[in-house]
């Protein structure tokens, strides 16, 4: 006997309506952020005590960023998508403006030979992290406005890649090769998901690969990174040093690790241990199991993000936006781990949600908020399923 037949149809739909919040996505993100706070403290406690006189120096700053990121996430979840559609054409201009700031004397804050940060009084941030989000929204708007023409080479490849190229030029002037790669990968993913032809995508990938290869070839420091990646022990105390120390950390962890807080490589041996190479410390202290669980957390985020995209596949703007936002977290996570374990050349790229970096953490949590907003919109106007 079907007891649901006794319920009013509206009540039955209410009982079976999808939840407006993807709790699995929220829990996965909060676990990654919480785990990141623990690992930032574990990685920097001794070093920051020596350098800053406060073992919690970096951990407290990351905690403040996490709180601000949580507020930003909730705020982004409430943003009306009709508003995002309307402003999407202008976000390319906003992105270019933000990318000029780190190149502007007086407010540019150089570090490590790069000019990627802006300092306005007590506030220091990295515009590129927010530009990535702007570019995803801009591209989602472009794809929705030209969805009937995406099968053409001009509208499906040339125009979007040309507009991304404008941002890429400013990023490379900083220089920020890592963010350039992330934006290109994310945009290509959005183009592929939105209906660009495979043959055109293949030609585009060849072209992008040649351009990136040329940029590496004409840049001595990038070329040295590739050479050290191919043969790190040829310059063990120079360009190959960071990768070697990372591989030592990963190898030392074996299956279960040396124990939380027990890493030796973080003690002034591994550069950028709390940012770009925090995964190496995770692997050393928590072993293969800890590294695998971390990657599973990102895979869950990617899975839920793509399911959200599928639930709004009837709407090109929301669909391409969800795909782009998902790849905004998944792509740098995969690239970062690839660098740490020696599968990719070294580049400046923090592990999303986990590694130390206020701009990255706040921007990533904003990305999650927008994804949750898409999920909420799908719940209010169901055309797909999760």
pLDDT tens by residue, 62-94: 999 999 999 999 999 999 999 999 999 999 999
Residue 4 has pLDDT above 70, yes or no: no
Locate 48 and state its tokens.
């920051």
In the chain, where are the structural domains located? 43-380
Q: Where are the alpha helices (DSSP H) in 104-262?
A: 127-145, 153, 159-173, 177-194, 198-217, 220-230, 241-253
Is the distance from CB of 120 to CB of 293 less than 8 angstroms?
no
CA–CA gap between residue 55 and residue 69 (Å, rounded): 23
Q: Which residues 6+ apart lie within 8 Å of 8 measured at CB? A: none
CA 210 to chain centre: 24
Work out the pLDDT band at 282, boundaries 50, 70, 90. Answer: very high
Residue 304's pLDDT is 95
Is the distance from CB of 53 to CB of 345 less than 8 angstroms?
no
Q: Which residues pair with 124 in a beta bridge?
A: 119
Q: What is the dihedral of CA 90, 92, 95, 97, to 10 degrees?
A: -70
Residue 242's pLDDT is 85
pLDDT tens by residue, 22-76: 899 999 999 999 999 999 999 998 888 888 888 899 999 999 999 999 999 999 9
Locate 149 and state its tokens.
């023409």
Query: Which of 157, 187, 193, 159 is CA-nearest to residue 171?
Result: 187
Residue 347's pLDDT is 75
Work out the pLDDT band at 379, boundaries 50, 70, 90. Answer: low
* Average pLDDT for 186-196: 87
Cα angle for residues 301, 324, 344 (degrees, 5° grid): 75
Comparing 6-20, 178-192, 317-331, the range with the smallest average pLDDT is: 6-20
């Amino acid at each position: 006997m079907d007891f649901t037949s006794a319920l009013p149809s509206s009540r039955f739909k209410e009982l079976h309506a999808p939840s407006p919040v993807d709790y699995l996505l929220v829990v996965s993100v909060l676990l990654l952020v919480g785990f990141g706070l623990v690992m930032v403290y574990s990685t920097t406690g001794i070093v920051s005590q020596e350098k800053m006189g406060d073992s919690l120096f970096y951990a407290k700053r990351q905690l403040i960023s996490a709180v601000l990121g949580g507020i930003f996430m909730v705020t982004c979840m409430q943003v009306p998508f009709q508003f995002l559609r309307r402003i999407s054409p202008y976000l390319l201009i906003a992105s270019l403006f933000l990318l000029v700031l780190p190149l502007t004397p007086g407010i540019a804050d150089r570090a490590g030979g790069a000019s990627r940060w802006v300092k306005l009084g007590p506030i220091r941030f990295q515009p590129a992290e927010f530009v990535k989000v702007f570019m995803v929204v801009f591209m989602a708007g472009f794809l929705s406005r030209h969805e009937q023409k995406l099968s053409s080479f001009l509208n499906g490849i040339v125009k979007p890649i040309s507009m991304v190229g404008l941002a890429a030029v400013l990023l490379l002037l900083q220089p920020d090769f890592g963010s350039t790669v992330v934006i290109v990968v994310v945009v290509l993913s959005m183009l592929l998901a939105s209906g660009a032809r495979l043959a055109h995508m293949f030609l585009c990938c060849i072209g992008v690969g040649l351009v990136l290869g040329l940029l590496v070839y004409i840049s001595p420091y990038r070329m040295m990174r590739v050479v050290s990646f191919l043969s790190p022990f040829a310059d063990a105390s120079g360009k190959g040093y960071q990768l070697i120390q990372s591989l030592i950390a990963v190898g030392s962890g074996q299956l279960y690790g040396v124990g939380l807080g027990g890493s030796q490589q973080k003690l002034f041996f591994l550069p950028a241990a709390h940012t770009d190479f925090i995964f190496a410390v995770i692997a050393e202290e928590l072993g293969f199991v800890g590294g695998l669980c971390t990657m599973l957390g990102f895979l869950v985020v990617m899975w839920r993000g793509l399911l959200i995209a599928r639930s709004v596949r009837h709407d090109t703007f929301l669909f391409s936006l969800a795909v782009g936002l998902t790849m905004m977290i998944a792509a740098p996570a995969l690239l970062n781990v690839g660098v740490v374990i020696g599968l990719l050349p070294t580049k400046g790229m923090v592990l999303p949600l986990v590694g130390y970096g206020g701009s990255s953490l706040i921007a990533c949590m904003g990305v999650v908020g927008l994804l949750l907003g898409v999920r909420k919109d799908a719940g209010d106007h169901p055309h797909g399923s999760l």
